[in-house]
Amino acid sequence: MTAVSPIQHGATASTPVNLLGLDAGALADWVAQHGGKPFRARQLSRWVHQRGVANFDDMTDLARDFRALLQRECAVAPPAVASAHRSRDGTRKWLFEVGQGNAIETVFIPEDDRGTLCISTQAGCTVACPFCSTGHQGFNRNLRVDEIIGQLWWARHELMAEGDSGRLAGAAPTDDRVISNVVLMGMGEPLLNYGATLPALRLMLDDNAYGLSRRRVTLSTSGVVPMMDRLRLDCPVALAVSLHAPNDALRDHLVPLNRKYPLRELLDACLRYLEHAPRDFITFEYVMLDAVNDTDDHARQLIDIARQVPCKFNLIPFNPFPQSGLRRSPAARVKLFARRLMDAGIVTTVRKTRGDDIDAACGQLAGEIQDRTRLSALVPGRRQAIPIIETPR
């Protein structure tokens, strides 16, 4: 497949409409404005998203005059691929150009029973968590809908082009779904780009587009409480919360957004979200940092949180990068920490480190970001080691 230059989804006299940026409602509106009936929009969506066709002449069941209109005014244009990498464990990573010298990263993780695509929603991130490589890169801009969906469009059809080698193990011969799960856990905070994240989610769930289950689309947030409340009403999907600390004092350092939306507000928002969520629990992500958040006392505090919010814990071994000044918790400590939680009856998993040889593991995505927020100036000491904070027993 040949990479194409990114095109805005809003048309001007010289810029075509990028169909990757239109959800079902927007596409139906565009078709209606040009005299088409609703079924034309559904046909077009299936050609673009399900079949991955970018050449309008190949959309053979569309009327010839409609195809001519599409040729004049539209395009199917994912972001251009700058580089592609394959890990020893089969993990794939693509670097996409998004203009102004910036790039974003997308990761595909194959497993026996699923294929998970991790996509980005921003070029950089303003949250500035010290254990995350993206946060150290600063922030440039929000991605558009076509740039978010373009990652899924490109990865899906690149993998399908590999034939049987790309099909999920055990899948029926007629099942060409290579990507069964999508997680918005790449670069950026999805809920700080809500205007583009919402239509992108709707496209992922649309039966005429990608047809994914709400249970198989997971949005990860650092805890943007007002937008969590909006998402639970607009498009509730599975929710993962980047917790990483069991108390406000430590979380203020590890997840600076906590200073605006502290734990009590976040946990209350989680309970409200569960009223509409496709799953009956919240996944709390918890990166394991040596001598920072991995003590028995921290485990006891997490158990108290689990008594307040139905949840499971996903413990993430820290993936080091040079600027962090942090260390991964020893494997024995992670195992004991997990055992403390499980003995309390809490479902707990330890995330496998995948793709670390190509810098595709959790927390390692960096891309190439022009830091226009000057986070190093805005957050003094952000590159320093996290202080150990004692909490009352």
> How many residues would you count in the chain?
393
Q: Which of 97, 105, 147, 189 is catalytic?
A: 105
| Distance from C-alpha of 271 to C-alpha of 276, rounded to nearest angstrom | 10
Q: Count CA atoms within 13 Å of residue 149 on its CB side.
A: 32
Rounded CA-CA distance 119/148 in Å is 7
Report the phi/psi class of residue 220: left, alpha or beta, with left for phi > 0 and alpha for psi in -120 to 50. Answer: beta
- Reduce the DSSP state of residue 73 to 3 states and report it: helix
Cα dihedral across residues 223, 226, 231, 233: positive or negative: positive
118 in active site: no
Tell the residue number behind the tokens 């600027």, with chain if given. 323
Q: Given 74, 129, 270, 362, which residue is catalytic?
A: 362
Angle of the 24-33 helix axis to the 38-45 helix axis, nearest 10: 130
Q: Are 362 and 133 in contact (CB under 8 A)?
A: no
Q: Catalytic annotation on 105?
A: yes
What are the tokens at 364? 């390692």
Catalytic residue set: 105, 362
